[in-house]
Amino acid sequence: MPDVSVLDVRLYGEPIGTLTHLQGERTIFAFNEDYVENPDRPTLSLSFKDDLGGLITKIRPTQRVVPPFFSNLLPEGGLRRYLAERAGVNQQREFFLLWVLGLDLPGALSIHPAAGGALPPGDDEDLPANAKPNALRFSLAGVQLKFSAFGNAGKGGGLTIPAEGVGGSWIVKLPSQQFTGVPENEFSMMTIAGMIGMEVPVINLVDLDAIFGIPEGVGELKGQALSVSRFDRTGDGPVHTEDFAQVFGVFPDDKYKRASYANIARVIGTEAGDAGAAEFIRRLVFSALIGNGDMHLKNWSLVYPDRRTAALSPAYDLVSTVPYIEGEDTAALNFSRTKKMAEFDADELRHLAAKALLPEKLVIDTAAETVRRFRQVWQAEKRHLPLATSVVMAIDAHTPTVPLYNELA
Which amino acid would we find at residue 141?
A
Q: Give the lowest-confidence range in 39-48, 112-121, 199-208, 228-237.
A: 112-121
Spatial distance between the Cα atoms of 358 and 371, rounded to a whole number of angstroms: 19
Is residue 361, in this structure, part of any structural domain at all? yes
Boundary (domain end) residue, out of 172, 205, 234: 234
Report yes or no: 269 and 91 within 8 Å, Cβ to Cβ. no
Catalytic residues, by residue number, are 294
pLDDT at 175: 85
Same domain for 230 and 251?
A: no
Give me the mean pLDDT over the 52-57 stretch. 93
User: 143-198: per-residue pLDDT in tens?
Assistant: 455 666 656 544 455 656 654 445 568 888 888 877 889 999 999 999 999 999 99
| CATH number reported for the structural domain that contains residue 328 in this entry | 1.10.1070.20
In a domain, 131, yes or no: no
Residue 226 and residue 243 in one domain: no
| pLDDT, the chain, mean | 87
Q: Higher confidence at residue 325 or residue 137? A: 325
For CA atoms 342, 343, 345, 348, the dihedral sign is negative
Is the CA virtual torsion 385, 387, 389, 392 positive or negative? Answer: negative
> HEC string of 166-195?
CCCCEEEECCCCCCCCHHHHHHHHHHHHHH
Closest CA to 144 of 166, 172, 125, 118: 172
- Percent above pLDDT 90 for the chain: 63
Q: Over 50: is that where the pLDDT of 133 sits?
A: no
Q: Please state the pTM of the whole predicted model.
A: 0.89
Residue 117 lies in a domain: no
Q: What is the span of the domain harbouring residue 53?
A: 5-74+86-112
Look at residue 120 and tell me if it is in a domain.
no
What does the alpha-carbon distance between residue 36 and residue 405 come to, in Å, rounded to a whole number? 49
Residue 70 in contact with residue 102, Cβ under 8 Å?
Answer: no
pLDDT at 297 over 60: yes
Q: Does residue 247 sit in the same domain as residue 304?
A: yes
Question: Would you call 217 exposed, middle or buried from its count of C-beta atoms within 10 A (0-12, 13-18, 19+)?
Answer: exposed
Is the per-residue pLDDT at 117 higher than 60? no
Best-predicted range by mean pLDDT (18-27, 204-213, 395-404): 395-404
Same domain, residue pair 101 and 165: no
144 contacts 176 by C-beta, under 8 angstroms: yes
For residues 305 and 358, state if they share a domain: yes
Domain count, the chain: 3
pLDDT computed for residue 198 by the predictor: 97
Q: Which residue has the higher pLDDT, 183 or 81?
A: 183
Residues 100 and 164 in one domain: no
Q: Mean pLDDT throughout 336-343?
A: 97
Domain C-terminal end among 198, 218, 234:
234
Nearest-angstrom CA–CA distance, 362 and 275? 10
C-alpha torsion sign, points 174, 176, 180, 185: negative
CA distance 352 to 337: 8
Contact 17, 30 (CB under 8 A): yes
pLDDT at 248 over 60: yes
Asked if 207 and 222 sit in the same domain, the reply is yes
Determine phi and psi for 180, rounding to 5 degrees. Answer: -80, 135
Same domain? For 224 and 253 the reply is no
In a domain, 140, yes or no: no
Q: Which residues contact 129 (CB under 8 A, 6 or more apart)?
A: none
Domain annotation covers residue 369: yes
Give pairs for 301-304: CB < 8 Å, separation 24+. Answer: 301/241, 301/242, 301/243, 301/244, 302/46, 302/241, 302/242, 302/243, 302/244, 302/247, 302/268, 302/271, 302/272, 303/231, 303/232, 303/239, 303/240, 303/241, 304/42, 304/43, 304/108, 304/239, 304/240, 304/241
The answer as to whether 136 is a domain residue is: no
**Tens of pLDDT, residues 198-235:** 999 999 998 888 777 776 666 677 889 898 999 998 88
Are 293 and 349 part of one and the same domain?
yes
Does 398 share its domain with 312?
Answer: yes
Taking Cα atoms as reference points, which of 110, 181, 176, 178 lies closest to residue 139?
110
* Residue 380, domain member (yes or no): yes
What is the per-residue pLDDT for 78? 74
Which residue among 234, 251, 276 closes a domain?
A: 234
The dihedral sign for the CA sequence 36, 38, 44, 49? positive
Residue 269 shares a structural domain with residue 321:
yes
Residue 226 and residue 193 in one domain: yes
- Residue 368 CB contacts under 8 Å (≥ 6 apart), including other chains: 408
- The pLDDT score that the predictor gives to residue 2 is 43
Please answer whether residues 59 and 67 qualify as being in contact, where contact means their C-beta atoms are separated by less than 8 angstroms: yes
Mean pLDDT of 303-328: 93
